Structure 1
Amino acid sequence: MKRRFHWAVVALFLAIPSVALGAIPPKIINGVLDLREWNFQSDGPIALKGEWVFSWGEFTEPGVLSDAHLMQVPGFWNDTENPQQPGEFLPGQGYGTLGLRVLLPAGAAKDLGISLEYAQVAYSLHARGVHGSEMVLANGTPGQSQESEIAQRLPSTARLPVSSDGSVYLSWHVSNYHTMRTGTWTAPTIGPLST
């Protein structure tokens, strides 16, 4: 009896992950996320976790990053090697841009939104769509100095503008002059807008 109970428990635990996981989300690789096969209605929203392109010490437009390296999102830039000083890590205080290109499924673009819980400590998220680049989310004011930064941490959601080819370039400006550990504590999420 104990042996049957043991195997029933093992079978239950093996079955739960396959049911709970649903569709396996694609991974962000080298700053590109291919969602062309993703069905937001059946697969749900997707967190933009993975290898974003990162450019330290500059704020750039979506799709334009110079001297860029990869950084895990979510993640701390203190854990990222300084491109100007190999073998050294970036300081906790400063600013930079994270970039991502998202390829979207046909027809999904008009009803998508993007949300973000927060980043440490100020950010603005820009997207390049049909009408050019626009700021879609912001928390405080990211700055190139402590004097120009306004820190804030609130969740935010907005409609996601998409280009005519069904893709979107994201440019996430983040700054921190108030804490020692900084970066992206959470990842933005793309999903259907609530009606």
Structure 2
Amino acid sequence: MDIDRNLVWHGSQVNSSERIALLGQLPRTLWLTGLSGSGKSTLAFALERHLIDAGHCSFVLDGDNVRHGLNRNLGFSPTDRTENIRRIAEVARLMNEAGLIVITAFISPYRTDRKMAAEIIGEVRFSEIYISTPLSLCEQRDPKGLYRRARNGEVREFTGIDSPYEPPEFPALALDTGVFDVRACVDQLRAAALC
């Protein structure tokens, strides 16, 4: 997409090292990816609570929450999924520029989309975290009833059923919430957020 020639980027009078000094933390984005029901949102919000309690400025960008506003005009086609991830990556980058630790919780099923997100945010700030909970357990949990509806043909293009999920090849961290409880996962995520 070409940028309008009438648009001009305005630089800030505040640099990133000033924000780092002010907040006492390095900005980063933990990109939690995995199937619906894997535990992404649960872990993201638990980590946010833990970080805030420890005095770290952080914020969660959650898939369902973002689709209530910023991305409410997007569906679940491959093209819309890519645009969903692009927008989220741009928001996460801006939040990182402000000095925040960003935790995203998105299925983000395609490797190419996650690679694009890493490029937008910046490889140094981006950590891909694979919530590797198996499909069978996610489907057993089915907190929103979406797997049941997808199996009945009521929901189309549902990841893991009739739409693919491409697991990360080299995630910074992989967590199976069927093996580790929330506390153990948050401990590992905290280490990734503050490294």
Q: Give the TM-score normalised by the residue count of structure 1.
A: 0.26
More helix by share: 2
The structure in which a higher percent of residues are strand is 1
Point out the structure with max Rg over C-alpha: 1
Q: TM-score, normalised by structure 2?
A: 0.26
